[in-house]
Structure 1
């Protein structure tokens, strides 16, 4: 296809009048001068995927027929594994070496070495194109990317950036990179993997692995340049790698995917640390920083390790001077959770003594203070973040909704953000209750804290249950219908975003056994519909947030103190 020029980002009225638009938000200056209502701007995805006229399509088809690809030999052997010299991704001759070059090198080195499957499988792309292009008139890559941007990364003028995060900036970054860049290849890989989730397009998953391997090799080459290693595109690439591991959770090698996901998070952290405080100079970079910070928090809790240091006097709180959003604030309020868990684990291993009880109460007091901040966070969220009750359920039908209210939200992204808040409160109160159960002596104040903690835990679980129908029923998601999103993709996103809340809630010991069974039934339903095994379901939960704690016997509730409730095995 010939070059058709750079598409205008101006508003619809300025393009119609053929005048230069200043692209001001929410209304352009030209429309204000005319006294006209600004009709708005085109989305980034519309700028990337432009319509082709009939003549162009016919010329493209004639060219494809004339250049019929020669099928690849089915007996050809796959490329040999990468040598150790190929895995060096930082130029050792550079006069300005990156401070975290060792960590970045370890990142890609681990990913490539941990893959016991061939990252460059012997595929025949022409066969895939013949299977799809006759119906769609487009290559599988283009179809997959259009599907991905429309359903997962669509940018809208009314989008709430605090709810959707870094994917809102993907279109602009993607539009500015070359087709052979790591970001372009990574987006193609995750797009093919997402579209390959449909039963009729499973073959695309293998094709996605092919592009994933190409993206890893391209990333290795790009990171040889310390300047490019500090770019927004490099950080976005690392985040897309983590998203790819999440999307491919249902593949057979989920345990390998978990390790790769954690390694990609570590790589993204290293890239962000390379930027240092300069990362707060732009809105896009700040959004990427917050996405990486959230992934690092999840990984730290999962692995029971302290939060990594970030260069600068304020550390990971360095975005305080930047415009705040609700999701970023929620993560900042939770950064102390890994340290509290580590402190609690260490003190609970000590022999019983008054000094030990005193240290336990110190941990409890700190955790209660952090939890209070989380409660304040929710109280100050705007009304469109809150749940609205659309129906009441008696809970008689275990296949339907849980007893009580049924909640609806603006969209599944806000619903997940609020459920993420509930998960974090559940983790704090799980820690508080474990510590209180380990005390040798209790007074009235301790018992009051214990009752309050159980009440908050039950409330959070009930509200997670109330959000389940909204995630799993397309007719309740009016915004998705209005935007014309694919029903299957929308329900798949909703189901995936439910896994971690359901998994965490089902592991809380102080809920009724009937409610626990209902939560597990919903997890089984998601697994059955989307073809996920129990191990893969746990893997999905790990990649979003973590289960409620370690399996150390000292951290378990004592059954004699929790009559009527069973002890749950905690898995990290």
Structure 2
């Protein structure tokens, strides 16, 4: 399993002495000043993807030792989850009992005599039916894997298949409460972690393209299996990928890929920053429209949007700097919002969207949904909605900060109302857009069978804009209530535990902001 902390980048000597290190290579200033031999620096990627304990290997070996037995077992009874049944199974000497830690207190799990022989196929089927873009008339899963930006190669590789099985079975286990499925899911997950670790230890012999895709899949697995104390654990894998991309071999892979894959990396990196903060990678901060080379006209609006959001991220990351001037940076934030307004107004025809109304209240946001003209555009617009909402929340916070010291702008009240209205509209558009991209209306978004079609559906990436919308105090109560309900549905029907664990965070964040 990956290391679940934040590895220090300081040299070994400074870590032992517990002093600040300036990380100069090959010898830091502290070691030079003290006349000590610098202990050197960690291999951060290898550290992130190392096995945390020997017990992981023991659990994997134990699971494998039972695999032959499971293959011969026919379908039968299901696993009971009542406390009385758990006590009774522990008392039965003939029942196989396994114990392991799933980033939470130890669970004692009895393996029922009913694990189906097609359990791996169940995982694949659940993965494709729940998490892969619906492609009308196409039932060939190998096509989806082979042509994806995020998955697959000309032939479906076993590690990617194992990753898909692990995600599918873990999600299915959450839906059905059948813990025996999680046993197989964890076994596949560990095999993928081991492969990534081997690649980190021997990068020259690795397949960078495959490893980066595996890391993505491991992140999705963490979203499916997260618990309340590790809700953002998926970002550990993203940090590992970012560290790998600094290596020449892996860096060439992402630059050689379709611009869309590179754009998604920037979007996900920004989401990671706004979720947990911390340092922003230099390749993100230094982004400009020429960073990603693309001759496809459909990519230009997305590249422009990333550029604006990156500048907002720089502004946001500077807010705790003692030299940060609220009055000056308020104007910067207002200008960014103006740029986004002009960005929306100048969208090409293929990117434009309209809010439609329907009597179908079940599959819409209170009767509203968004009609898109392009599948990729619908996904980029999700980032526009949460980004502009976040900027206007930032403006409102700066206005409140200035008001506490008696500083008011000439059009203070007008700007406050404009930001409230904009934030509210963005929150409702984010919800209407989510309704369009999930369920009944998703198949109405136009796309063609081509390599640029995103094969993974949008559900994992929708969690962030829904969180921003549901947490906003500028949004009406109906937005908050709808987001909570939608996250509960995603968790119960698709097995993404992170959706459920986000609900308390959203409620707490909204309550805290309301008190300001």
Q: Same fold, TM exceeding 0.5?
A: yes
SS of alignment partner, residue 407 of structure 1: strand
* Unaligned 5+ runs, structure 2: 3-25, 27-39, 77-113, 139-143, 449-454
CA 1:411–1:497: 2 relative to 1, 3 Å: farther
TM, length-normalised to structure 1: 0.59
User: Structure 1 residue 385: deviation in Å?
Assistant: 4.2
CA–CA separation in structure 2 for the residues paired with 1:388 and 1:300: 30
What does 1:38-187 align with in structure 2 at a 5 Å threshold? 102-109=43-50, 112=52, 120=60, 122-123=62-63, 124-126=66-68, 128-129=70-71, 139-142=118-121, 144-145=123-124, 148-149=127-128, 152-153=131-132, 168-173=148-153, 175=155, 177=157, 179=158, 183=160, 185-187=162-164
Using the TM superposition, give the Cα deviation of residue 402 of structure 1 relative to its aligned residue in structure 2, in angstroms: 5.0
Cα distance in structure 1, aligned partners of 2:55 and 2:351: 41
* Match in the other structure for 1:215: 192
Tell me the alpha carbon deviations over residues 269-322 of structure 1, each in whole angstroms, 9 at most, x when there is no partner.
Answer: 0111213863465234x55443333332222222222311239x9557663333
| Cα-to-partner distance string for 1:49-80 (whole Å, 9 max, x where unaligned) | xxxxxxxxxxxxxxxxxxxxxxxxxxxxxxxx
Query: Are 1:420 and 2:392 an aligned pair?
Result: no
Match of 1:331 among 306, 310, 314: 306
Structure number with the bigger relative contact order (C-alpha 8 A, sep ≥ 6) is 2
Which of residues 269, 280, 294 in structure 2 aligns to 1:322?
294
Quick one: structure 1 residues 263 and 119, their matched pair in 2 at CA, closer, same or farther if it must change by over 3 Å?
A: farther
Q: Distance in 2 between matches of 1:517 and 1:539?
A: 13
Matches within 5 A, 1:443-458: 443-458=409-424
With structure 2 as the length reference, what TM-score do the two structures score?
0.65
Count of residue pairs the alignment pairs up: 422
- CA distance, structure 2, for counterparts of residue 529 and residue 139 of structure 1: 21
Write the distance in 2 (CA, Å) between the matches of 1:494 and 1:339: 27
380, 393, 404: which one pairs with 1:430? 393
Superposition CA RMSD, Å: 4.9
2: CA distance, partners of 1:463 / 1:367? 21
Residue 361 of structure 1: how far off its partner (Å) = 2.0
Does the alignment pair 1:343 with 2:318?
A: yes
Contact 2:487 2:499 in 1 (8 A): no
Match of 1:373 in 2: 339
Deviation at 1:255, TM superposition (A): 2.9
* In structure 1, distance between residues paired with 2:136 and 2:307: 27
- Given that 2:333 and 2:395 are in contact with CA atoms closer than 8 Å, whether structure 1 keeps it comes out as yes
- Aligned residue among 506, 509, 529 for 2:473: 509
Partners of 2:369 and 2:134 lie apart in 1 by: 29
Q: CA deviation at 1:522?
A: 4.1
CA–CA distance in structure 1, aligned partners of residues 74 and 425 of structure 2 = 48
